Amino acid sequence: MLSKKAKYALKALEYIAKQSDINPILISEISEAQNIPKKFLEAILLELKRAGILKSKKGKFGGYNLQQSAEEVNLGFVIRLIDGPISLIACVSDKYYEPCAECENEATCGLRSVVSEVREATTAILTKVTLADLIKRELRLKKSKATKK
Amino acid sequence: MLSKKAKYALKALEYIAKQSDINPILISEISEAQNIPKKFLEAILLELKRAGILKSKKGKFGGYNLQQSAEEVNLGFVIRLIDGPISLIACVSDKYYEPCAECENEATCGLRSVVSEVREATTAILTKVTLADLIKRELRLKKSKATKK
DNA sequence: TGTAACCCTACTAATTCTATATACGTAAAA
DNA sequence: TTTTACGTATATAGAATTAGTAGGGTTACA
């Protein structure tokens, strides 16, 4: 499962991406709009900034903006950043690889081979979908809901 | 990520499935063969028994056997049993559904729609693969490794 | 009836998650 | 140049989860 932190990060990024690029967005504005505890959100945004996704401006009329474009930021990157490995077992993880303690032979482990397939399928989706896609999806869903009425 | 408990459960089940059906398998044997703490394994096997996957025989010459056939037991069932939801967010879970606290409209949530796709892809694999498949895979991997030499 | 096996309850140490508190640094406006 | 409105940094803390341990109890076979 995703941690709340990762979910907050994605919600916050989506919110920032939806606003105009001109004015920096306040932490407190995001916090209220998305129901995220403010102090917790501060830490999250800072992490996203360090990772190069966001940029910030200090002082009065400061706040956060995207550093990369909404088309560049994919969900897999964010989730990996905040929650760590996406794979179900570390022995099939690319970025967070660790050998299994018990498993004597990784190359012939059946479980590993299955979990590896799951990882491929999961990351294929998560790294393909960007913030921009997320916003587009939302619009599409809202439209199809409206026409159904 | 899978918990160690779930990994232990799968390893233990695979081990039992590989043995002949005639003699019950001892907890201590599995524990040693798969490097699983014995007392922890006891608890896991008990849970698998309660779920109807294993059956046990008490007393001298007792032990564990499969109750269902190796073709019947799929990995998704075991993982869900031990670790809970497979989905990344509870709002797309079938068995462990819970509404999102922050999300005001589930039907139009872009993140939900992406995570839902991930869930479909993941469960499709995990519920298709059975213990019997796991063993077959292992054999196949061992063979292809041998021919490579 | 002894003993080798599984069964059961409760406890705990360590870690992670979800924040909160406090103090500090910085930039723009009055 | 002082004030005010922001972000930055570090420390801490309660709750939940994970990964076991301890210590018997119960059953059934020889």
Nearest Cα residue to A56 out of A43, A47, A65: A65
| pTM confidence score | 0.94
Nearest Cα residue to A51 out of A36, A61, A64: A64
Residue nearest to nucleotide C20 (CA to C1'): A39
Which is it for the CA torsion A12, A15, A16, A17, positive or negative? Answer: positive
Give the mutation candidate from A5, A7, A104 for the B interface (greatest B CB count, under 10 A).
A7
> Among partner residues B85, B88, B110, which is closest to A141 by beta-carbon distance?
B110
Q: What is the DSSP string of B66-128?
A: ESS-TTT-BHHHHHHHHH---SSSGGG-STT----SS-S-GGG-HHHHHHHHHHHHHHHHHHH
Distance, CA of B6 to CA of B12 (rounded, Å): 10
Q: Which two tokens stand for residue A102?
A: 């018990």
What is the predicted pLDDT for the residue at A148? 64
**Residue A21: alpha-carbon gap to chain centroid:** 20
Q: Residue A58 carries which DSSP code?
A: -
Using the beta-carbon criterion (under 8 Å), do B114 and A134 form an inter-chain contact?
yes
What is the predicted pLDDT for the residue at B145? 77
Q: Residue A130 carries which DSSP code?
A: B
**Residue A99: alpha-carbon gap to chain centroid:** 26
What is the predicted pLDDT for the residue at A145? 77
What is the predicted pLDDT for the residue at B149? 52
Nearest Cα residue to B45 out of B68, B33, B60, B63: B63
Distance, CA of B98 to CA of B115 (rounded, Å): 14
Distance, CA of B12 to CA of A144 (rounded, Å): 48
What is the predicted pLDDT for the residue at B146? 82
Low-confidence residues of chain A, pLDDT below 50? none
* Strands A63-66, B54-57: pairing kind: unpaired
Average pLDDT, chain B: 93
Give residue B147's pLDDT band: very low, low, confident or very high (50, 70, 90): confident
What is the predicted pLDDT for the residue at B23? 85
Question: Could you identify the residue written with the tokens 């063993």?
Answer: B135
What is the predicted pLDDT for the residue at A103? 80
In chain B, what percentage of residues exceed pLDDT 90?
86
Q: Is the CB of A5 under 7 A from strand C?
A: yes
pLDDT tens-place string over residues B38-65: 999 999 999 999 999 999 999 988 999 9
Q: Residue A74 carries which DSSP code?
A: B
Q: What is the DSSP string of A82-114?
A: HH---SSSGGG-STT----SS-S-GGG-HHHHH
Distance, CA of A142 to CA of A136 (rounded, Å): 10
Chain B residues contacting A via beta carbons under 8 Å: 1-2, 7, 10-11, 14, 34-36, 75, 84-85, 87-90, 101-102, 107-111, 113-115, 117-118, 121-122, 125-126, 129, 133-138, 141-142, 145
